[in-house]
A and B are shown apart, each in its own frame.
Chain A
Amino acid sequence: MSTLSSHRGRLLLAAILAAVAVAVAVTATAAALAGGPARPGFPALRPAVAPAGWPRATLPGGAAVLAFPPTLQRVISDADAVSAARLGPGGSYQLYLNATPRQGAENLAHWAAFRLRLLRSDDAASARLLTAAGGIRFRGGTGSCVIDSYITRIGGHHFTEIACLVRGRTSASVIVAAAPTARWALARPLLLRAVAAYQVR
């Protein structure tokens, strides 16, 4: 009697194991097909051609094309990068877009951690992850994105950004879209549109 009961218990456990394994596999597959498991709060990003009239800036190496709203203008950037910004009174940054070829050890799997680490070691006195997602489709490629906020070492300015590492067929690059944290909610739709229009090769 006891042996029979134990045998049934093991069968039940095996059945539950199998069911859980199948559920995990189905969930992972569905998430991958849907463009990656977005974390709570991560906005929908669907690749789309930039609106007519948006200027375009191509990375010097030709790896990507950054489209930006006409209310922004090109600003100084690293030699191999392109940037556009809307500057407020006194020259403060109101909107900021930047595209840069992949340069370091960044990769899609660890992008969020890399970006936060870079911010903290380079420009930011502090940086905080808000949300992140992988497997995001871009025009010509796939990317991982992180939304974070940070405070600059110089001036103590608060910025919120979405930064994506995007891999195309032949190259990888980074697009950053940022605004002062106080203006993020207002700026976000326009910045996300620029990110969605980012084209990689």
Chain B
Amino acid sequence: MSFTFPRSAAGLALLTALAAGCGTAAAAHSPAAAPAMHHSATPDPALPSPSPAMTPHHHHHHHHAHPAAVAPAPPPPPPAAPTMNPIPQGNGGDQDADNNGGPSDGDGSI
């Protein structure tokens, strides 16, 4: 049985596909570990702040009370679930843009 050209061509095609895959595996892969959350901000009263029109909604971290079980004495309420973002939204936190429906800033949200 001789080694035919089609087999070589198949090998070439496979190599080309592998090479293309390597070349395009760039920045958009491998999501980084979920960052921890923190924010520190000091609003400067001298600086203009965005429109109140950006501030109407509260959307994060709604914690609903759990109905008490049937028992003579209700158990103490469970601890609040951890939140992803400690900053109150709706202009309640550091008042920068992204807490008010504005564009997101460049913080790492650690």
With A12-B8, A132-B26: A87-B50 Cβ-Cβ less than 8 Å:
yes
Q: Is A96 part of the binding interface, using a Cβ–Cβ cutoff of 8 Å?
A: yes
Docked pose: A163 CA to B108 CA in angstroms? 12
Chain B residue contacts of A44, Cβ below 8 A = none
Name A's B-contacting residues (CB within 8 A). 1-2, 5-10, 12-13, 16-17, 20, 23-24, 27-28, 37, 39, 73-81, 83, 85, 87, 90-93, 96, 98-100, 102-114, 116-119, 121-124, 129, 132-134, 144, 146, 150, 152-157, 159, 161, 163, 173-176, 178-179
26 chain-A/chain-B pairs, Cβ below 8 angstroms: A12-B5, A13-B11, A16-B8, A74-B48, A75-B48, A75-B50, A75-B97, A76-B49, A78-B39, A78-B105, A79-B41, A79-B94, A90-B51, A93-B97, A103-B38, A104-B36, A104-B110, A105-B110, A110-B29, A113-B29, A116-B28, A122-B98, A146-B28, A161-B103, A173-B106, A179-B103
Contact of A24 among B22, B51, B105, B107 (CB under 8 A): B22
The dominant DSSP class at the B interface is loop
Chain A residue contacts of B3, Cβ below 8 A = 5-10
Name B's A-contacting residues (CB within 8 A). 1-5, 7-8, 11-12, 15-16, 19, 22-23, 26-36, 38-44, 47-57, 59-60, 84-85, 89-90, 94-110
The dominant DSSP class at the A interface is mixed
Docked pose: A163 CA to B106 CA in angstroms? 8
Docked pose: A154 CA to B99 CA in angstroms? 8
A105, closest chain B residue (CB): B32
With A12-B8, A78-B41, A161-B103: A105-B33 Cβ-Cβ less than 8 Å:
yes
The answer on a CB contact under 8 Å between A118 and B41 is no
Contact of A5 among B2, B27, B43 (CB under 8 A): B2
With A90-B53, A91-B53, A121-B84: A78-B103 Cβ-Cβ less than 8 Å:
no
Docked pose: A146 CA to B60 CA in angstroms? 26
Chain A residue contacts of B16, Cβ below 8 A = 20
Chain B residue contacts of A16, Cβ below 8 A = 8, 11-12, 15
B19, closest chain A residue (CB): A24
Chain A residue contacts of B41, Cβ below 8 A = 76-79
Most buried by B among A13, A77, A99, A117: A77
Chain A residue contacts of B34, Cβ below 8 A = 117, 121
The answer on a CB contact under 8 Å between A13 and B51 is no
Contact of A2 among B1, B43, B52, B89 (CB under 8 A): B1
Docked pose: A79 CA to B39 CA in angstroms? 9
Docked pose: A75 CA to B23 CA in angstroms? 41
Shortest Cβ distance from residue A124 to the other chain B in the assembled complex, whole angstroms = 7
B30, closest chain A residue (CB): A110
The answer on a CB contact under 8 Å between B110 and A96 is no
